[in-house]
Chain A
Amino acid sequence: MDTQYQATLETLERLRAESVSAGGVQQIETQHRKGKLSARERLDLLLDEGTFEEFDVLKVGRGSSLGGVKNYLGDGVITGHGSIDGREVFVFSQDFTILGGSLGEAHAQKICKVMDLAVKVGAPIIGLNDSGGARIQEGVDALAAYGEIFHRNVRASGVVPQISCVMGTCAGGAVYSPSITDFVFMVEDSSYMFVTGPSVVKTVTHQDITSEDLGGAKIHAGASGVAHFTVHNDVLALREVRRLISYLPSNNRLQAPILDLSDAPDRTDPVLDYLIPSNSNQTYDMNVLIHSILDGAEFMEVHAGFARNIICGFGRLGGQTVGLVANQPAVLAGVLDIDASVKAGRFVRFCDSFNIPLISLVDVPGFMPGPDQEHGGIIRHGAKLLYAFTEATVPRVSVIIRKAYGGAYLVMNSKHIHCDVNYAWPTAEIAVMGPKGAAEVIYRKEIYAAEDPEAVLDEKMEEYRRTFANPFLAAQRGYIDDVIFPRDTRSHLIRTLQMLDSKKTKGPDRKHGNIPL
């Protein structure tokens, strides 16, 4: 054989081996000791066996402008494409063992390449983030590199699903990429996200705070709402990413795949007839209803720990993925507040981007009162959810379970904002406000003038309750399409979705609306 050719082959072998072990066996062991997997191991679990096609194994950086940094093959990130349950996805997995997974020019170019291809072929982009941030040694080149990624995150937004799985640190400007993506996973105890890290916080504000307390998985799952999902460890994180993907279409031109779970579309559940307590002031768990109606009782809840007074998540009805938005009366009586409005608003817009029908289950007594909410801007934030539902052109179906008062009734996907089909349970109370508030306003003069104001108020409340705390007035007007038996909810929803399957509506011709932010 030609010696030239032989030499080339040997070089190729050597370079590939170098790239694969670039970080060094010891560094990988350090990752393992920290309870983390290596970048390659993660991809190995994420993708179907033997489907990974890697790009740019041999790509290197141009050399740092501030000198002194070794060039690593692959530049600290592994990129390419593979399949998840047979469907193509594009991936990048940052390698913490190489320069701390820091993002340099070449590193970013690799990521941009797969993002561009993903948009071209219409396949999801999954990023496994584990990076110290921008590579300081590359200076502004590193910043420029980030910019290019952000640009593509935005261009791909609403075109292909983008998922970020933060499996280590994600700090500084780097956090903006995941925050633009559709869903963020964080691994407990080993992942952190913050714009400014603990050491700088200490220097500037003299506050001592750990990475975990500043931006660990618990914080972002609960307080900030930055993380949509938290998982116990790397292995389970990748399983959950695969699970999420199974609910989603590959791109915005397709519908999500149908999955047959052998669950009859006309299955009735008698427990639903008993779910609502006879006392209007007692709570119940909305999750019972959610699990009862969905195929296989399977529900992937998004933002489970954030704004728990509203429940958002994916399920299937008749095999088809649906996006569920439901008030949770067991938490804060199911009121809408700033966090709930923002959480649900984003979820609704994601579903609208990707042809996922929206189902809302309504039991909302109103918006949360008080100066905290008002000063916090509930006016602006509440409007987000209203805007999101109204703007959505995917099939929309609503079921009013119990309370639907005032503005919150309108916001929660009502007929008046052009929800396609609205059902109500016999326990529905569709009214401008609750009996007490209404009675106090309408009969104010009478109550004030009475000998026993309390008794008159009680009497008027009872009268109001009897007249308005039911779905019949709304039904008379056609504001709801039917009053259904609770146990039949699932079969009504599936029939309705079948009918709406071919729904085609278009918004007005404009660049985009101006959703309050």
Chain B
Amino acid sequence: MFEKILIANRGEIAIRIIRTCNRLGIQTVAVYSDADNRSLHRHLADEAVHIGESQSQQSYLDIDKIIAAAKATGAQAVHPGYGFLSEKADFARAVQEAGLVFIGPPVEAVDVMGDKITSKELAKNAGVPVIPGHIEAVKDEEDALAVAEEIGYPVLLKPAAGGGGKGMRIVREPEQMKEALEASRKETLKAFNDTRVFVERYIEQPRHIEIQILADSQGHVVHLGERECSIQRRYQKVVEESPSPVVSADLRTRMGKAACDLARQAKYVNAGTVEFVMDAHHNFYFLEMNTRLQVEHPVTEMITGLDLVELQLRIAAGEPLPFDQSGVTFKGWAIEARICAEDPARGFIPSTGMITRYAAPRGSGIRVDSGVNIGGKIDVYYDSMLAKVICHGKTREDARRLLIESLNGYHIEGVSTNIDFVTSVICLPEFAEGALTTGFIDQHFEGGISKRSPSLQYLQLAALAATLIYHTRTVAVRESLRHMVSTIGGKRDMGRTHHYRVRSHEDLFEVVLEGTPVSGEVCTIRVDGSTHKVEIPVFEFFRRRLKLVINGLPYRFRIRFQDSFIFMSFNGISRLFEVYTPKEWTMMQYMPKKADKLLDNVLVCPMPGLVVDVLAQKGERVFRGQNLVVLESMKMESGVASPVDGIITEVLVNKGQAVEADQVLIKFEVM
């Protein structure tokens, strides 16, 4: 076993690997860029080497610097994590040539599986079902039409290099082919400098199901069951689970065998994942193989009880697999949610900032793999994923409920996250039923908002919580002033009923507190027609999260105060709740509806200074709050943020230009 390894990665996966190494007594070396100077992964490793500037090209993608760091610290092996250089054959080769062990498959396997065309050929040769399609790149439009005719429409145009959905186009009729092919080639050239496109059948209503395999250097191959990763947005996975609701034991065996056959054919060693696409009839077709540890590996770990990173290290150290296929058992169900620094309300643009509040959920069956903590700075240089929350339960429903509760309690402030978006996904009845396809999010969401309104029951609970907070806060003022109030003719209002009207978006609620809520006692609260018994906690307003036991069940709410209103996050609901007394409510009827203010269509310079950088260009779609220009003024650098959502029509300044206060920097077309 190794004594010291270098982790060529950052964030949550680096910390994940460090955790296993600590348990096994292996020394860890972390690498970090300028932006990651204060990062958690740097400080948790035994040693850390600074490898360059913030841009990935200058640091985490710089093979020479990483190898140099490994040599300088005496590391014996390199774990590439996922992303970055993990699937670059050049890197694997360089590591080996430097006399170090690459914790992953052989270079040849990385090579052959990295190319969509060669991997598909290998799959065919292994007897693994593949999507009907041509294994050669199409030569021209005529060729494409002929191939499509042969396979049968609808077809998918797929670039040979790269992934993440870039360059992919669906063609349903011959008439669409010309335009689709041109667009696909153009995008592929731009993203991957490669115009090879090939055609295959497009699977409707597909489910993305993958098999985790492990292979040792002695030729033993096992599979660790499947993961369903159908919940994706723009080809990025959001929610994954194991097992899959539609995979029977028999299907698992067949898919597992296919995956292992493929691995053997490729002479694969170490951990890998074979991705399949499954149609409505449970036919599965090979998609691609990922020659590394996957982001969603924890769900497999939770139902098998195995530590995949440990197994990776052992295999790389030459040990044989400590079990065979019959030794692999599955228990319960695990679901994972990926938490990213993005703003679902604004088209999911990456969110930046400093984490000012951080409280992760804890408890039996809850696992949080996080790359950040309080004080963490989130920049735009890297992937926006902050953490993963994985919940395990006896049944799928148990796991789902635990995950909802965990996400409700996951408190991150300072950056926008997709926590409430993910919660709203798993709260949908269709998700509870397991009716998943890769089109799930597009089907049920418009941008980041669910097409269907949240369930009335959830809204009522949120209204109840908002009212209780509002009432307690208001009463707190009265109570504190009690000693100052003239003792002549004062009234006590214990035992009174308190009526409130609550508005959230277009929904109205009538909330009645029967009696004054007292900490430690149960108060009966009515929301419209339904009655609830609520255990009143001690309210700590600064905490901005609340756990309420309502009718014997715990519910977690996250709160933000906005003027005198309360923004509640609960079960995917992220809304402002306006609490009014009945008198105020009557008066509110006369208040004018807030008209959408005419938005500025220019970006003005806030102060005299120098333009250090222009971060966006003409034609780009930008979002309110997104930094567009970096100014240096009064010896300070600051970003100038867009005041609107819109498209840039004109950029009027250049880098290095001196500017005055109120000078127009950028013009927009407001959307």
Chain A residues with a Cβ under 8 A of chain B: 31-32, 34-37, 41, 44-45, 49, 83, 85-88, 189-190, 232-236, 239-240, 243, 246, 250, 257-263, 267, 270-271, 273-275, 278, 281-284, 288, 292, 295-298, 319, 329-333, 335, 365, 368, 370, 434, 436
| Among B437-445, B456-464, B582-590, B648-656, the stretch in contact with A | B582-590
CB distance from A23 to the nearest CB of B (A): 15
Could you say which of B38, B480, B588, B591 contacts A257, with CB atoms under 8 Å apart? B480
Could you say which of B355, B486, B541, B583 contacts A296, with CB atoms under 8 Å apart? B541
Question: Please, how many angstroms separate the alpha-carbon atoms of A298 and B544 in the complex?
Answer: 11
Q: Are A298 and B636 in contact (CB under 8 A)?
A: no
Interface residue? B97 (CB, 8 A): no
- Scan B571-599; emit 1 where CB is below 8 A from any A CB, else 0: 00000000010011001101110100000
Q: Are A262 and B538 in contact (CB under 8 A)?
A: yes
Q: Could you say which interface size class chain B belongs to?
A: 35 or more
Q: Are B484 and A332 in contact (CB under 8 A)?
A: no
Question: Please, how many angstroms separate the alpha-carbon atoms of A235 and B375 in the complex?
Answer: 38
Could you say which of A85, A189, A331, A370 contacts B481, with CB atoms under 8 Å apart? A85
Interface residue? B563 (CB, 8 A): yes
Q: Are B633 and A333 in contact (CB under 8 A)?
A: yes
Could you say which of B376, B538, B564, B634 contacts A335, with CB atoms under 8 Å apart? B634
Which secondary structure characterizes the binding site on chain A?
loop
Q: Are A235 and B355 in contact (CB under 8 A)?
A: no
Q: Are A281 and B541 in contact (CB under 8 A)?
A: no
Residues of B within 8 A of A319 (CB): 480
A284 nearest CB neighbor, chain B only: B354
Q: Are A85 and B477 in contact (CB under 8 A)?
A: yes
Q: Are B591 and A235 in contact (CB under 8 A)?
A: yes
Interface residue? B234 (CB, 8 A): no
Q: Are B477 and A246 in contact (CB under 8 A)?
A: yes
Interface residue? B561 (CB, 8 A): yes
Q: Are A295 and B638 in contact (CB under 8 A)?
A: no
A267 nearest CB neighbor, chain B only: B542
For chain B, residues 525 to 547, give those with C-beta under 8 angstroms from any C-beta of chain A: 538-542, 544
CB distance from A373 to the nearest CB of B (A): 12
Residues of B within 8 A of A240 (CB): 563-564
Given A232-B594, A235-B584, A260-B480, does the pair A274, B636 have CB atoms closer than 8 Å? no
Given A240-B564, A298-B561, does the pair A281, B637 have CB atoms closer than 8 Å? yes
Could you say which of A45, A250, A330 contacts B583, with CB atoms under 8 Å apart? A45
CB distance from B478 to the nearest CB of A (A): 5
Residues of B within 8 A of A296 (CB): 541-542
Q: Are A271 and B484 in contact (CB under 8 A)?
A: no
Q: List 27 A-B contacts (CB under 8 A).
A: A35-B591, A44-B583, A45-B583, A49-B583, A86-B482, A190-B592, A233-B591, A233-B592, A246-B477, A257-B481, A260-B480, A261-B541, A262-B538, A262-B541, A271-B356, A274-B374, A282-B636, A283-B638, A298-B561, A329-B636, A331-B606, A332-B606, A333-B634, A365-B635, A368-B634, A434-B635, A436-B635
Interface residue? B497 (CB, 8 A): no
Q: Are A257 and B484 in contact (CB under 8 A)?
A: yes
Interface residue? B435 (CB, 8 A): no
Given A282-B636, A332-B607, does the pair A263, B541 have CB atoms closer than 8 Å? yes
Could you say which of B356, B377, B542 contacts A295, with CB atoms under 8 Å apart? B542
Question: Please, how many angstroms separate the alpha-carbon atoms of A189 and B592 in the complex?
Answer: 9
Q: Are B564 and A239 in contact (CB under 8 A)?
A: yes
Interface residue? B218 (CB, 8 A): no
Q: Are A85 and B478 in contact (CB under 8 A)?
A: yes
Q: Are B540 and A262 in contact (CB under 8 A)?
A: yes
Q: Are A236 and B564 in contact (CB under 8 A)?
A: yes
Given A262-B538, A263-B542, A333-B634, does the pair A271, B375 have CB atoms closer than 8 Å? yes
A331 nearest CB neighbor, chain B only: B606
Could you say which of B477, B580, B633 contacts A259, with CB atoms under 8 Å apart? B477
CB distance from A312 to the nearest CB of B (A): 18
Could you say which of B485, B587, B633 contacts A37, with CB atoms under 8 Å apart? B587
Question: Please, how many angstroms separate the alpha-carbon atoms of A15 and B375 in the complex?
Answer: 66
Q: Are A86 and B541 in contact (CB under 8 A)?
A: no
Residues of A within 8 A of B563 (CB): 236, 240
Question: Please, how many angstroms separate the alpha-carbon atoms of A212 and B647 in the complex?
Answer: 29
Residues of B within 8 A of A258 (CB): 480
Given A434-B635, A436-B635, does the pair A36, B37 have CB atoms closer than 8 Å? no
